[in-house]
Structure 1
Amino acid sequence: MTPIPSTKPNLTTNDSAVLQALFDAESSPSNAITINAALPAYPTHLNITPELLQTLQSREISIIRTLQSETTSLETIQQAIQDLDALIAEYPTYPSAYVNRAQTLRLLIDTTPSSSSSEQSKAEDEDDKLFAPENAEYASTLLADLGQAITLATPRSPADPVSTVQARLLADAHTHRGYLLLKAARLKKESHEEQEVGGGPDRLRGVEPGQLEDMASRDFFFGGRYGNKVAQQLAVQTNPFAKMCGAIVKEALRKEVAGDDGVRI
């Protein structure tokens, strides 16, 4: 067996920095956002004063507490959604209510019995139910809620600092939506028939799996940018540019390590 040469690739400092930034989401300069704990919870243009925020949070906590039992009934979940509907109708610029309604809608979908009683359906991933045709309306509202929360909480300029509350909400909402988009992409890939994903906004229908993955990657990027550690890793794994460059770099390094002897690793 021909021994593998011990020669190591000679990367410049700049090359190493570029590779580190590309493949390590946590080291990327784009993660350098400013979180200022002294800022109001939400941007001033949303007109949510500290006094109003306290009232809204109190109502919100009261609604969420009804869902924290291990035996939460379908009726209780539906009532919580109605209460969140009322809160949003009264205060449409309150981002947190949209995120919590999205979470409650997922709970509703998970709790509602499937229309099919087959063993195959029972064995399916619970998240698959989100994209079942019978849940299309719920899924549409859920994803629209995440989008609205992101729109409301996102700073007007990328250079603007964000509050702790704002950063946490954006991290969670982007990561949640990214996960669902990635799930939709995988369901389309796994489908043996060219069927559309049943749930979600109309804009997802007809979108190719690769495009859905790109959308998910973007959400994971922003989720990681605002502090979600899982999103930081998923952003790298789903980034098509990183994957493409990874294959190119890997091949280049293999050739450089092999040297003139043509030894492959």
Structure 2
Amino acid sequence: METITQARPSLTNNDAAVLQALFDAESSPSSGVKVDPTLPSWPAAVNISQTDLTTLKTRETQIILNLQATSTPTEETVQTALKELNTLLEEYPTYPPAYTNRAQTLRLLADLEYNNHTTHSAKTESEPESITDESLFTPEASDLSSKIFADLGKAITLATPVSPADPISSVQARLLADAHTHRGYLLLKAARVKKTRPGVEVDSVGPERLRGHSADQLEEMASRDFFLGGRYGNKVAQQMAVQTNPYAKMCGAIVKEAMRKEMEG
């Protein structure tokens, strides 16, 4: 099923360079997932006929195409897409792709609302010109961020097999890879906001699952989602799982210190 953008972490050039230099992709978690291309797109629990699935795909694709008609959609365009996705999910509440696409659309809305807010208010000297996705972790975006996490969680719940040993379809694997990676990225962003922007109280805004957790705990949660995203086939998630794994980080720090001492010696 088409999505607005491929749900992968937006790494800075520096992050990407560091990741490529320090981590061997071959040592990332093994997928360990049985993908059977002959299986129906979604498990029986989704309970949607093939005829209805075909219709849903057509409707959803049109919503996304309308949203992508311009490089910078207006708030009105985004709100229209949200209304149409809401209607689709009211009719078919067990259709997983609509939840991931609604989560993406809500992220667009959060960015637009944040930009409108900062346009009409003075920026502080320390505030960057562009804060990608950090707009989700402000008091104004608390409701939106809660909805995004809820949609990603719902999509994952609907698409996850009953047993890890159960085979899944190619479509199912792709959605799980992207949804886990998307959620992992947002959790990682929340952890970094908490570390670098003390003026933003992550404990008092955003979804309930973020509150009361330290930055390190949020990063561990992100690592778990990246592990699962990698397990279902997202290559970037495999690398990010290594980067954010607390044990890997600890070992990396030990090796780095040993190399520093060796070089000094």
> Normalising by structure 2, what TM-score?
0.81
Deviation of 1:195 (Å): 2.5
Pairing 1:80–2:84 present: no
Deviation of 1:83 (Å): 0.9
Residue 243 and residue 88 in structure 1: after superposition, are their counterparts in 2 closer, same or farther (change >3 A)? same
Deviation of 1:204 (Å): 0.9
Residue 247 and residue 34 in structure 1: after superposition, are their counterparts in 2 closer, same or farther (change >3 A)? same
Could you tell me whether the CA contact under 8 Å between 2:137 and 2:200 is conserved in 1?
Answer: no
Could you tell me whether the CA contact under 8 Å between 2:138 and 2:200 is conserved in 1?
Answer: no
Pairing 1:201–2:207 present: yes
* Equivalent position amino acid for 2:245 in 1: N
SS at match of 1:66: helix
| In 2: Cα distance, 1:131 partner to 1:29 partner | 30
Larger radius of gyration: 1
| In 2: Cα distance, 1:168 partner to 1:207 partner | 29
Greater CA drift, 27-36 or 167-176:
27-36
| In 1: Cα distance, 2:27 partner to 2:39 partner | 26
Unaligned runs of 5+ in 1: 1-22
| In 2: Cα distance, 1:136 partner to 1:25 partner | 35
Q: Give aligned-pair identity as a percent.
A: 59
Could you tell me whether the CA contact under 8 Å between 1:132 and 1:197 is conserved in 2?
Answer: no
* Equivalent position amino acid for 1:84 in 2: L
Could you tell me whether the CA contact under 8 Å between 2:138 and 2:206 is conserved in 1?
Answer: no
Pairing 1:220–2:226 present: yes
Which residue of structure 2 lines up, in the alignment, with residue 111 of structure 1?
Answer: 112
Instruction: State how 1:11-50 maps to structure 2 within 5 Å.
Output: 24=24, 26-27=26-27, 30-50=30-50
Which residue of structure 2 lines up, in the alignment, with residue 65 of structure 1?
Answer: 65
Instruction: State how 1:134-213 maps to structure 2 within 5 Å.
Output: 134-193=140-199, 195-196=201-202, 199-213=205-219
RMSD: 2.4
* Equivalent position amino acid for 2:122 in 1: S
Which residue of structure 2 lines up, in the alignment, with residue 10 of structure 1?
Answer: none
- CA displacement, residues 105-138 of structure 1 (integer Å, 9 cap, x when unaligned): 1111122234232234561413111112111111
| In 1: Cα distance, 2:253 partner to 2:144 partner | 39
Which residue of structure 2 lines up, in the alignment, with residue 98 of structure 1?
Answer: 99
| In 1: Cα distance, 2:117 partner to 2:195 partner | 23
| In 2: Cα distance, 1:157 partner to 1:188 partner | 35
| In 2: Cα distance, 1:254 partner to 1:74 partner | 51
Could you tell me whether the CA contact under 8 Å between 2:193 and 2:200 is conserved in 1?
Answer: no
> Normalising by structure 1, what TM-score?
0.81
